[in-house]
Amino acid sequence: MKRLSTVTLWGIYSVWRRHAKVYQKTWLVNFLAPLSEPLVYLVAFGYGLTPLVGEVTYTGETISYREFIAPGMMGIALLFQSFFEAAYGSYIRLSYQKNWQALLTAPLSFSEVFLGEWFWAATKGVIAGTLTGVIAILLGLYQVWHLLLSIPIIILGGLTFAAFGLLTAGTVRTVDQINVPIFLFIIPMFTLCGTYFPRETLPSTIETIASILPLAALIDLLRWPLGVPRWWLMALLWLLFWMFLLVVAAAKKIYPRLID
């Protein structure tokens, strides 16, 4: 293993490419979930609830319910794919398959292996978020140039939730314990952060808690075509803060497990 502080782009890419080659072997199956889940959600909630909900007021503008939930579905796809790849995939590679340990016998540093894992999990989130955006475009709920301009936000979201997944992989001791952050954080974010309804309809205490969670900031930023939030810069900085906090915590949890 090279020195901890040694970081090269080639080292990071070699780890990322290793996971990408494995992913390519079953790419058709791997593309099924990112394509089918948002399509089912958009059809079920968009077309099923629109006759009941009608229109939604967002940042002072009245929009259809389908337009409202489309960016939320992009955020959900990002959250699920990046978090679960990092939490389950990295945990299995760390604790069962020992891929981390094997990679460190090559001329790679811990930082390169860690960053390669992080970027790969974020890549899966970016793929899912982008595919969901393409489906929203095909359904007339998002414009092509909206999606292109949203790519930096999608990447930031993927990095944030991939870091959360790595923190989980470094913290838990059994695969069953991964359910704890899922029940405590992932499901509350999934349901309360403004994905399916404006957070303003929640009781004030729950609204405040939901607004603190990173998915709320991500969805607010992804909804910029419907209306730029008043505090968009604060939301961006808040999401960056979450990303740095989670990735530093993840590195501090995983590194000791490799040198013990």
Strand partners, 168: none
pTM recorded for the entire structure: 0.92
Q: pLDDT by residue (tens digit) across 72-127? A: 999 999 999 999 999 999 999 999 999 999 998 888 899 999 999 999 999 999 99
The lowest-confidence range among 44-58, 64-78, 108-122 is 44-58
Task: Say if residues 114 and 169 touch (Cβ distance below 8 Å).
Answer: no
Instruction: Report residue 167's pLDDT band, with 50, 70 and 90 as the boundaries.
Output: very high
- Name residue, tokens 């992913």: 23
Task: Say if residues 235 and 215 touch (Cβ distance below 8 Å).
Answer: no
Spatial CB neighbours of 28, under 8 Å, sequence gap ≥ 6: none
Mean pLDDT of the chain: 90
Task: Give how far Cα 254 sits from Cα of 18, 48, 93, 260, Å.
Answer: 20, 44, 12, 11
Average pLDDT over residues 28-36: 74
| Residue 215 clears pLDDT 90, i.e. is over it | yes
